[in-house]
Amino acid sequence: MIDLKRVRENPEAVRESQRARGEDPALVDELLAADEARRSAIQKADELRSEQKAFGKKIGQAAPEDRPALLEGSNELKARVKEAEAEEAAAQEKLEKLQYSIANIIEGAPAGGEEDFVVIEHVGEVPEFDFEVKDHLDLGEALGIIDMKRGTKVGGARFYYLAGDGAWLQLGMLMLAAQKAREAGFKVMIPPVLVRPEVMQGTGFLDEHDEEIYYLERDDMYLVGTSEVALAGLHQDEIIDLSDGPLLYAGWSSCFRREAGSYGKDTKGILRVHQFDKLEMFAYCKPEDAEEMHQKLLGLEREMLGAVEVPYRIIDVAAGDLGSSAARKFDTEAWVPSQGTYRELTSTSNCTTFQARRLHTRYRDADGKTQTAATLNGTLATTRWLVAILENNQQADGSVRVPEALRPWVGKEVLTP
């Protein structure tokens, strides 16, 4: 949820953010009008409550013969107070609805849609092969480490088994990520994968991604598509201590996505699936420290991608392709040889105070006043990384070289058919 004070002070900046996202700038003016209406309703209700209180004292001091008439007037005033409080509640509801409808104010993101990203950097050499390149599924099936047929038999389309060395490859990758996170000061967490509606709403995922989320109607619970959700809810309705620096968490969990609207897209292999594992970094910090923290998360992603030995690029995601919570997002995209292009492996987002304001997560500043915290997130490893690892490290005989950093867990230097 955006900061109303910021909207009042600089509405044009919010309008410009809306334009950059391809969204309606007129919502900003509607929000300002609703804010003014709410403040007027509060003032009116406060004045009537004050009048009612004074009138009550007058009745208590009146002569017995005068009280019946005064009581009649008191009932009329009571009805007016009730009506004013109803108007106040309606004005507050309208304001919150509009406030929830406006996405976070962008901070440095380029304007435009999905294709308007800006490439920041290319890292690593794109491999050249003197043999016919296989895709990750053909490699995985020949190696006996990915079984899509039986995954489909058991769970339906977009489900799979990781078997033997495939399981160890993923576990090694996630363990390496967890180790790097711990060394960087993150507390490793295994969070819930089912969350309440208010937590899912608080992170912004119900605003535009509700079709992507598995909902358990009988229990009124949601399966998370990222442990960001559970980590954002960790300090809901709390005043956290940031006096010694940011609070840093790394959540390891299974994640679930319906992939609604993606029918016919990336149906082969494990690039776009319904269930996967992920190690997600999450940070709470003071708003003035958020930009520096964003670079720290990106730096850790760089380090991890370097360790698994895949070439990649970093892009500054355009405003129209940001989620509603993010003010800025960097994606890291690995080269996928079978497709001859870069595909997203990981991202890191600065959500400023947007999520914490919804979830009422605050901290005390140097003067002891409560302020809204900033939140950031970034993926340090996830199942789809196996796509890039397998394809970029394949060899002519169908074998795959295991990145050196993962060998202690996999127990092999090369996976052979």
Checking if the pLDDT of 52 tops 80, the result is no
- Give residue-wise pLDDT tens across range 389-406: 999 999 999 999 999 999
Q: Identify the structural domains of the chain with CATH numbers, from first to last.
A: 4-101 (1.10.287.40), 118-415 (3.30.930.10)
pTM metric for this prediction: 0.91
Positions marked active-site: 257, 272, 344, 347, 384
CA pseudo-torsion sign 236, 237, 238, 242:
positive
Residues flagged as binding site: 226-228, 257-259, 273-276, 280, 344-347, 377, 379
Residues 282-339 pLDDT 10s: 999 999 999 999 999 999 999 999 999 999 999 999 999 999 999 999 999 999 999 9
| Strand pairing report for 328-336 and 215-216 | unpaired
Q: Which residues are annotated as a binding site for ATP?
A: 257-259, 273-276, 344-347
Dist CA 406 CA 60 (whole Å): 81
- Angle subtended at Cα 121 by Cα 117 and Cα 126, rounded to the nearest 5 degrees: 105
Q: Which residues are annotated as a binding site for L-serine?
A: 226-228, 257, 280, 377, 379
Could you tell me where the beta strands, DSSP code E, fall in 265-327? 275-285, 312-316
Residue identified by tokens 């105070």 is 353
What is the pLDDT, as a whole number, of residue 59? 63
Helix (H) or strand (E) holding 122: strand 118-123
Q: Report which of 327, 332, 339 is spatially closest to residue 390, judged by C-alpha positions.
A: 339
